[in-house]
């Protein structure tokens, strides 16, 4: 028996019933519609594996165009679905066209049961292989992304504060102790986490990074712990969560301070038990991972305010590493700037470029509210726009602070623009967090940024 769902789209209820009787022991679930306009409704609601599709829904038309139209609509919804075209007319041209446009088979009424079952089994095997191919492509894309990210190594600076950070990283890397990395946005907390992973005994496995601020409350469990098919409306297949993906490796949970108390409780439960249960399942899946957390919040203050669980805080902060803001590590600015210059000049084919001494002095005197991320973007922009191989002070233009006006003297537009600018400084241009804080979509936020010329 095929553990899949079959959709019959046929105008004749008698033929539908005959198909159901023949295939009731061959598939897990059968759905039937006489109106093709209901196909979308079914595909939105169910994970359909195979479709028996009538080629002509109107008795007075036998061109097959209706069938070809709805086959394309089915593939738009899910290109891995296996479609079997059904007709009462023997037409070699239509049969060839059906196969050419993606159908698995072309069968005639009345049906031969043995041939029908053989066609269904072929369709199921093709559906399975297509899904495996899609999942394999997704895995390959993910692995390529992770391989590229692994090449990013933390830049060893000259400042005493950063040297102290690196010394702690080297000491803690060889253990499996939970690490909490604190610091302002843009200071490089993820790079510190990746350095811990790269120096650890788990370096040969994946490091999975999760931005907790971008995960909605409703998707928290599904994203982190996974789900099984049918657990909720859009759960069309089993899916492993981030904890399972990080098995034997490292799981980096960024912006941990953005979690709601309810999500904190669920996370604490997993940290204590060391196993996850997928949404919609009762099976306990053990996890063997290294956990690293990061935040730009003062979690101790949040505990005193009742916004963060004290038991969770003490579970995650076995070792605390505070990454200093760039303004407190001025000695590192020339080292970082020249590194970003080398990376971006190669990326944009600008050849050998240099930063002049006056330009380096200007960089050293800037307060860098966006920290290392702001420096990186400033150097990249200068490389792109400069007409000279030597970057001058004029090549580095920093956004002027917004003019502060009393609220009763500001228009709504000025207030909104000021809010966006302040949020971009505070959250390091993380558009997901900024949009969430403002209660708007990311696209709306991008539209406002363009509108105000930010």
List pLDDT tens digits, range 421-452: 878 777 766 787 788 777 788 778 877 887 77
Distances (CA, A) of 252 to 105, 197, 246, 366: 47, 10, 9, 31
User: Domain coordinates of the chain in residue numbers?
Assistant: 2-131, 162-322, 326-395, 407-452
Q: Domain 407-452: state its class.
A: mainly alpha
The residue among 251, 255, 259, 267 whose CA lies nearest residue 182 is: 255
pLDDT higher than threshold 70 for residue 132: yes
Which pLDDT does position 144 carry in this prediction? 55
Question: In the chain, what is the straight-line distance between the N-terminal and C-terminal CA atoms, in Å?
Answer: 60
| Cβ 268 vs Cβ 309: under 8 Å | yes
The 10s digit of each residue's pLDDT in 143-180 is 655 554 555 667 877 889 999 999 999 999 999 999 99
**Mean confidence (pLDDT) of the chain:** 87
The residue among 87, 124, 123, 125 whose CA lies nearest residue 108 is: 87
| Three-class secondary structure of residue 423 per DSSP | helix
| Three-class secondary structure of residue 356 per DSSP | coil
Per-residue pLDDT, averaged over 316-344, amounts to 94
Per-residue DSSP letters for 148-185? Answer: HHHT------SSHHHHHHHHHHHHHHTS---EEEE--T
- Fold: same for 2-131 and 162-322: yes
- C-alpha triplet 91, 93, 99: angle, nearest 5°: 105
Give the single-character DSSP code of 204.
Answer: T
Q: Domain 162-322: state its class.
A: alpha beta
Fold of the 2-131 domain: Rossmann fold (3.40.50)
**Percentage of the chain modeled with pLDDT above 70:** 91
The Cα diameter of the chain in Å comes to: 86
Which pLDDT does position 363 carry in this prediction? 95
Which pLDDT does position 453 carry in this prediction? 72
- For residue 110, whether the previous peptide bond is cis, meaning omega lies within 30 degrees of 0, is yes
Per-residue pLDDT, averaged over 175-189, amounts to 95
Q: In terms of C-beta distances under 8 Å and separation of at least 24 residues, what long-range contacts does 334-343 make, across chains too?
A: 334/360, 334/363, 334/364, 335/155, 335/157, 335/158, 336/155, 336/157, 336/372, 336/375, 336/376, 337/363, 337/375, 337/379, 339/155, 340/375, 340/376, 340/379, 340/380, 341/379, 341/383, 341/391
Strand partners, 292: 179, 252
For the full predicted model, state whether its pTM sits above 0.85.
no
Q: What are phi and psi of 210, to 5 degrees?
A: -130, 125
Instruction: For residue 406, name the pLDDT band (cuts at 50, 70, 90).
Output: very low
Per-residue pLDDT, averaged over 40-56, amounts to 90
- Cα–Cα distance, 91 to 56 (Å, whole number): 13
Fold of the 326-395 domain: Helicase, Ruva Protein; domain 3 (1.10.8)
């Amino acid at each position: 028996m095929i553990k899949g769902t079959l959709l019959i789209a046929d105008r004749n209820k008698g033929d539908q019933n005959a198909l159901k009787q023949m295939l009731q022991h061959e598939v897990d679930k059968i759905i039937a519609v006489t109106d093709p306009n209901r196909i979308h409704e079914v595909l939105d609601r169910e994970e359909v594996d195979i479709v028996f599709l009538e080629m002509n829904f109107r008795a007075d038309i036998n061109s097959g165009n209706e069938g070809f139209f709805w086959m394309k609509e089915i593939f738009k919804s899910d290109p891995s679905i296996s479609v079997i075209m059904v007709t009462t007319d023997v037409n070699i041209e239509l049969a060839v066209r059906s196969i050419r446009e993606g159908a698995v088979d072309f069968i005639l009424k009345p049906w031969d049961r043995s041939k029908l079952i053989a066609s269904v089994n072929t369709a199921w095997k093709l559906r399975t292989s297509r899904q495996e191919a899609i999942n394999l492509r997704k895995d390959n894309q993910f692995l390529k992304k992770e391989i590229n990210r692994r090449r990013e190594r933390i830049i060893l600076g000259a400042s005493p504060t950063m040297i102290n950070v690196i010394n702690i990283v080297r000491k803690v890397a060889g253990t499996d102790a939970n690490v909490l990395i604190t610091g302002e946005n843009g200071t490089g907390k993820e790079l510190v986490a990746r350095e811990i992973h790269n120096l650890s005994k788990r370096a040969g496995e994946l490091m999975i990074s999760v931005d907790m601020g971008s995960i909605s409350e409703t998707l928290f469990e599904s994203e982190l712990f996974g789900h099984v098919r049918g657990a909720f409306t859009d759960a069309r297949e089993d899916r492993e969560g981030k904890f399972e993906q990080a098995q034997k490796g490292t799981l980096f949970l960024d912006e941990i301070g953005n979690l709601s108390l309810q999500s904190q409780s669920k996370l604490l439960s997993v940290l204590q038990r060391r196993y996850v249960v997928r949404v919609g399942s009762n099976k306990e899946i053990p996890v063997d991972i290294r956990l690293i957390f990061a935040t730009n919040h003062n979690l101790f203050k949040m505990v005193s305010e009742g916004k963060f669980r004290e038991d969770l805080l003490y579970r995650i902060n076995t070792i605390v590493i505070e990454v200093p803001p760039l303004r407190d590590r001025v000695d590192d600015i020339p080292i970082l700037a020249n590194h970003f210059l080398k990376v971006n000049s190669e990326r944009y084919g600008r050849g050998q470029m240099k930063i002049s001494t006056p330009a380096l002095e200007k960089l050293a005197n800037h307060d860098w509210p966006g920290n290392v991320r702001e420096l990186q973007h400033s150097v990249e922009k200068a490389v792109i726009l400069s007409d000279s191989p030597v970057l001058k002070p004029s090549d580095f233009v920093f956004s002027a602070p917004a003019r502060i006006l009393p609220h009763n003297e500001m228009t709504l537009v000025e207030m909104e623009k000021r809010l966006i600018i302040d949020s971009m400084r505070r959250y390091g241009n993380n558009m997901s967090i900024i949009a969430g804080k403002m209660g708007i979509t990311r696209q709306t936020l991008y539209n406002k940024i363009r509108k105000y010329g930010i």
